[in-house]
Structure 1
Amino acid sequence: MSFDLPRNVILPVDAVDIRLDPGPHPFAVDNAEAIAENWQREIAAKPALFDGMVVLLSQLAYRDNRLVGRCHAVNYSTFMLWRKRRENSGAEHAYAHAVLAAGDNALVAIRMGSHTVNAGRVYFAAGSFEPIDFRDGQVDVDFNMIREVREETGLDLSDAPRGKRYHVLSTASGTVMFRRFHETAPAEEIARRISAFVATEAEPEIEGPVIIRHAADLPDGLAPHMKPLVEWHFAGVD
C-alpha cells in the first residue's frame, strides 16, 4: 500500500484514474470489532447518522499531472473509526469539491447542519465518493461533484461551464480534488436559491449557504483545507 504525492501544495491534474477494487479494505477486515463498538458510540451521540457505503483509498500517487489510485467500498462506520485512527492505518480519504464561482466572482460555499458529523463546518458542497460514482470501476469525479451539489443545495451544475482541469490538495487529513464551476447569477441570487431549497427539506444536510467575496473573507467554521482553495480561486489560477 502506498501514498505517494506531495502534501500541502496545490497541483494541476489532467486525469484521474482511481479504480474501485471489489475486495475489502484491509483496515475494515483488521478492525471489525472496533468498528462496531465505535459505531454504537457515534450513533448514540448523533442518531441521524446512516451507515451507508463510501470508499477509502489503499493507494494514491501523483505522476505527470495524473492521479492514480485504488480504493475499496466500506461502510460509513468503518470510515468513522478510520477518522480516529488514520495515522499509519494503510488507508486515506479522497473527496471532490465543485468550487462554485458566481457571476460576480464570489464563491458560494455551505455550512453543514447541526446533526451531521461536520456540524458548523464551512466548505463547498461535497461528500465522499460512493460506489455510484464509479463507471466501469473508475471514478467519475464530475458526476460525484454534480450529485453532491444537487443533493445538498438543489442546484444543478450539469450544464455549468467548468475549469479546463482539476487540481488537487493533499494534506494529512485527506486529499481533495477540485474544479471551478461557473454560474452566471450573482452570489446573492445563488444563495437565495439554496436557502429556498433548504427550507423545503425535512432533514437538510446543510444549515445554509455562505458567500466568500475575497481571499481574506474567511468565515467562522471554515474547514482547514478551504483557505488554500479560496486563495487559489481569487488568484485566478485555472
Structure 2
Amino acid sequence: MTKPVIHRVTRLDLAVRPWRWAFAEERRSEIDAHFAALRVKTPALWNGRILLGRNRQFDGGCFRADYFETDFASFLAWRDWGFPDKDVFNGFGMGALRSSDRLFVLGEMGANTANAGRIYFPAGMSDPCDIRDGKLDLAIGIAREVGEETGLASHLYRANPCWYCVVAGPLIAIIQLLDVDMKGEALRARIARTLAGQAAPEFSAIHLVRSRADFTPAIPVYVTAFIDHVAAMAV
C-alpha cells in the first residue's frame, strides 16, 4: 500500500450525487458470484447500500469530494480485486478514541465481519443514512459507529474540530480525534462490559495503544500513520 499522506483540514465538503459506476454494472455477475462465495465463509455479511468517493480535492483547509451510492458487494469486489477503478476511493470516517492518559483505544474486528482480525478505531463504511441536504455528514456516522461498537454516547467525549484525512492510495481514512475523560484501562473495561452484553458485537477485543511499541501487523498503516502524526504534533 502507498505510504500514507496526512492532510489536516477544518472543513469537509462531501457532496452526494447520482453516478453510474461502470465497474459495478459491467461486472455484475462476477461481483454477485464473489459475494456469494464470501457469504459461505461469513454468513453475516449483508449487501447493504454504501457510499464511495471520487473527484477528491484538498483545497487549503477543506477536503472536497463527490460521493455516490453503490452496494457493499461491489465495494468488496473492487477492494478484493486490487481496486481496478482508480478514479474511485473509499473515504470513510473513524473515531479515534483517546483516554485521559493519552492511550488510543482500538477494537479488534470479530469473526462475523468482513475485516475479521483487523485492529482499528471505531469506523464504518460511509452510509446513505448520513446524508443531510445532499451532503455526507461524517460526524453523524462516526458518533453512530462509536455508540454501536463501544457503547459510548457522544456526551462522553470531546470531538476535536479538525479532521485528519489519511490518504493511502484508494483509501482515505477521515479521522476525528475523540478525547475521553477516563484513563485507558478503565475505558477498556467499560467498553468490554458493553461488548459482553451484545449478541453479536463487531469488536471481539479492545486494545490500548500509546506509541509505535504497541503496533502490530493487524493495525492498518493508515491508523499507525495517524497515531505517529498525532504523537509528533503533540496534539
**TM value normalised by structure 1:** 0.91
8 Å contact from structure 1 (residues 165, 179) kept in 2:
yes
- Matched residue type, 1:127: G
Residue 51 of structure 1 pairs with residue 47 of structure 2: yes
Aligned ranges for residues 10-159 of structure 1 at < 5 Å? 10-85=6-81, 86-158=83-155
Question: What RMSD in Å do the two structures reach over aligned CA positions?
Answer: 1.8
1:52-73 C-alpha deviation (Å, 9 max, x unpaired): 1111113211122211111111
8 Å contact from structure 1 (residues 215, 234) kept in 2:
no
The Cα shift of 1:178 comes to 1.0
The Cα shift of 1:212 comes to 0.7
The Cα shift of 1:7 comes to 6.7
1:9-35 C-alpha deviation (Å, 9 max, x unpaired): 211112111111134433322222221
In the comparison of the two structures, how many residue pairs are matched? 233
Runs of at least 5 residues in structure 1 that lack an aligned partner in the other structure: 1-5
**CA distance in 2 between partners of 1:92 and 1:145 (Å):** 19
**CA distance in 1 between partners of 2:156 and 2:22 (Å):** 39
**CA distance in 2 between partners of 1:49 and 1:73 (Å):** 18
**CA distance in 2 between partners of 1:90 and 1:120 (Å):** 29
Residue 215 of structure 1 pairs with residue 185 of structure 2: no
Residue 193 of structure 1 pairs with residue 160 of structure 2: no
**CA distance in 2 between partners of 1:194 and 1:50 (Å):** 25
Identity %: 24
Residue 169 of structure 1 pairs with residue 166 of structure 2: yes
Cα 1:140/1:237, change in 2 over 3 Å: farther
**CA distance in 2 between partners of 1:154 and 1:93 (Å):** 26
Q: Which has the higher helix share?
A: 2
**CA distance in 1 between partners of 2:20 and 2:130 (Å):** 18
**TM value normalised by structure 2:** 0.92
3-state SS, counterpart of residue 161 of structure 1: strand
3-state SS, counterpart of residue 225 of structure 1: helix
